[in-house]
Structure 1
Amino acid sequence: MFARASADHATEHHEAELMSTTPDDIARLAGLDERIAAARATKPLVAQRAQEASDALFGGEAAVSVPVRRGLAALAARRHGVDALVQDHVRLGADTAFLSDELPEDPTLRAAAAHVDLISVSPALATRADLDLLTEAGWTPDDIVVISQVAAFTAFQARAIQGLRLLQGQNPEPADTPHRPTPGRGRTKSTARVASNGRERPVAYTRELLSWTAWVPPVPTDELTPEQEDSFRGKTNGEYFRLLARLPRVLAARTSLDAAIFATREGLPRAERELAAAATSKVTDCVYCASVHARKSAQMSKRPEDVDRLLGVSLQRDADWLPAATAPLAAGQDARWTAVIEFAAALATTPVSATTAHVDRLRAEGLADTELTDLVAATAFFGWANRLMLSLGDPYWPDAAPTPAR
């Protein structure tokens, strides 16, 4: 057992050394200075696994062509207000038809672009009927997972870039976002009491265990390939991971990235990483993710009343279901948790509304650069996780809850 652990540690150390010599996309596009690069390098596998996910998503084989994948990513990056990421996808061959203020004329591409608009801006308003529109336009279940991963991963990447820039004193520039409305504009979030599998569906925030059911057929358990099974190692084989296993290389990198951010002792206290995940989930309005990470934060911090205070805040929302303000999420918290919640929540908005003033407050509370880069990574990751959970299925109350997913 010790020999295996030592071998695994040696492998990770070697991988980290290789990574340190090759700038990853997030570092390159954020233009990291020496100070923040050094802080981020204390958890080098975060950068490496994020790059592996990008390479698998945009370089791997899939029925959705690379120009379309990159075009949809450029569209999502534009929605998130990160022009450098938009231009990077264009440089690498993105189909620029997705960057017009009008939807593409081709009905298949039009459906995909509209869906990326929806889950980039208003993921909590996505429904099973939205996935039916993709199916009717000719997209297969595998394709739908690709489209969803492109949109959700770009949300992560955009927030990682913007967050690291903020740590270097750079406020986000005004965003040139598409002027067309998204399919979600004017909707309100579903309050249905029954999930798509016929089970009772939660509509209020909770720290109780929840389960999740997919709107697209997951890979049946007895049909999983060894690669697909390995892609969610350490997790359950529930519907969520069997659905994402339709794109196993991306899921494998994502599973490892999750562990690199959250399952470590270095950096921000684990309870505060989980707090950031819960705050992000409140902004995007993901009841399932908030339940998992509020529960973990409450257990690790031994501050359940403070976590419940966060969960109990009701945010006013506009026609796109974007919160009018996120600062109310920190009401009643102590100074450090106020700074953590306010920064995470503002980094989670679309486009990002966090400023260097948020970073100044975090530093005034004593957070070191290594903790700040960890906070950025934890918050950004849940920009990804929330969008997958919200747009591919819905939560339900289980009889016996499985191990939570991310």
Structure 2
Amino acid sequence: MGTTEQDDIGRLAGLGEGIEAARGTKPLVAARAQQAGEALFGDEVPVRRGLAALAARRHGVEELVQEHAERGGDPALWADELPEDPALRAAVAHVDLITVSPALATRADLERLVEAGWSPDEIVAISQVAAFTAFQARAIQGLRLIEGREPVGAAAPGRATPGRGRVKSTARTASNGRERPVEYTRELLSWTAWVPPVPTEELTEEQEASFRGKTNGEYFRLLARLPRVLAARTALDAAIFATTEGLPRAERELAAAATSKVTDCVYCASVHARKSAQMSKRPADVDRLLAVSLERDADWLPLETAPLAEGQDARWAAIVEFAAALATTPVSATTAHVDRLRAVGLTDVELTDLVSATAFFAWANRLMLSLGDPYWP
């Protein structure tokens, strides 16, 4: 992406100069997100673009649907009817599931992809497509809101997703036989994959470099099956979170924890609630967020997200309310949420940072939830 060329998110959001200038405070965020999209869709893969268009329909971002349609996405994959081909039908069902109800994904769902003929690399790619589209959709909608424009939804497919009517597993044993957490916590958790990660001794130099700075655990060795995508994603993570510009780091972590509560990802919430509590020195406020139990509908979507902000001071309440509403599927945040954030003093630079942190965890949650299990180390 050249210095004067607008990235896909900025272009699809239709951003003006003011918010683009605010984004420019952390230019690597746009650049790394663009690199991730190019790595995932760079070969103009019709199946990946078709699945991304399907996810974009579920998120209600028509411009993103049309982007993938115009760049060769297979239209059978985002149609109202399921495709006839059994392998494509399985992929569509999986994208439907982890776009709308990622916390309801199970190992059996991945086994259905294996039975349909998808390889471990391809299964990671399917999850990455759905998860990256969740990130893009929230980045686009969030930036529009900062400019004062309400999101305009797209019609989602009318069919029920595979998660409809399920409830989240409360199994006490993870797939590796270890004890599995079912309650939210700030304690350190581990994670095990449902499809084989790359064995440590078989990692190529490119795969190792794709997650350098992260732990050599199953999560990153699994995502390293698509090393170019993971390399861009690792760099984007650092560009958003490991910086001093924008929102205070504790509040970026707070947004990540709030997003993880909406998506219902116990693992991600544990990591980022712990960081927010440590950095803010406000563990009681973070624990208050973790303790909220959200009522959910038949698709496991929260009926409302405002309870997550109860008991917080005005600034933290505004941040949590916005992040939680931006994390819903489709997005339920409004310009009124942005008005409240401005009223407690957030600048355009901080607002764009908040959007990035929230959007990134819409991506991270879906990978964690669709590819493996948390467990107690």
Bin for the TM-score computed over the shorter chain:
over 0.9
**Deviation readout 1:175-202 (Å, 9 max, x if unpaired):** 3111000000000000000000000000
C-alpha distance in 2, partners of 1:287/1:175?
30
The residue type equivalent to 1:269 in the other structure is P
- 8 A Cα contact 1:20 1:44, kept in partner: no
- Is 1:143 the counterpart of 2:122? The answer is yes
**Deviation readout 1:154-174 (Å, 9 max, x if unpaired):** 000000000000001111113
- 8 A Cα contact 1:262 1:270, kept in partner: yes
Q: How far off its partner does 1:100 sit?
A: 1.3
Segments of 4+ moved more than 2 angstroms: none
**Deviation readout 1:78-117 (Å, 9 max, x if unpaired):** 0000000000000100100012111111101000000000
Give the match for residue 284 of structure 2.
305
Give the match for residue 259 of structure 1.
238
Percent of aligned positions with the same letter in both sequences?
82
- 8 A Cα contact 1:288 1:395, kept in partner: yes
Give the match for residue 5 of structure 1.
none
- Is 1:351 the counterpart of 2:330? The answer is yes
- Is 1:157 the counterpart of 2:164? The answer is no
TM-score by length of structure 1 reads 0.92
Within-5 A mapping of 1:237-386: 237-386=216-365
Structure 1 unmatched ranges of 5 or more: 1-17, 399-406
Within-5 A mapping of 1:77-226: 77-226=56-205
- Is 1:48 the counterpart of 2:34? The answer is no
**Deviation readout 1:226-281 (Å, 9 max, x if unpaired):** 00000001001100000000000000000000000000000000000000000000
TM-score by length of structure 2 reads 0.99
- 8 A Cα contact 2:61 2:153, kept in partner: no
Give the match for residue 34 of structure 1.
17
Q: How far off its partner does 1:19 sit?
A: 4.0
C-alpha distance in 1, partners of 2:154/2:290?
30
C-alpha distance in 1, partners of 2:17/2:4?
14
| Structural RMSD (CA) | 0.7
The residue type equivalent to 2:354 in the other structure is L
C-alpha distance in 2, partners of 1:19/1:180?
41
C-alpha distance in 1, partners of 2:154/2:286?
33
- 8 A Cα contact 1:19 1:48, kept in partner: no
The residue type equivalent to 1:21 in the other structure is T
Q: How far off its partner does 1:359 sit?
A: 0.2
- Is 1:24 the counterpart of 2:7? The answer is yes
The residue type equivalent to 1:331 in the other structure is E
Q: How far off its partner does 1:372 sit?
A: 0.2
- 8 A Cα contact 2:253 2:275, kept in partner: yes
**Deviation readout 1:3-52 (Å, 9 max, x if unpaired):** xxxxxxxxxxxxxxx64311100000001111100000000000000000
Structure 2 unmatched ranges of 5 or more: none
- 8 A Cα contact 1:219 1:246, kept in partner: yes
SS of 1:20's partner is coil
- 8 A Cα contact 2:102 2:369, kept in partner: yes
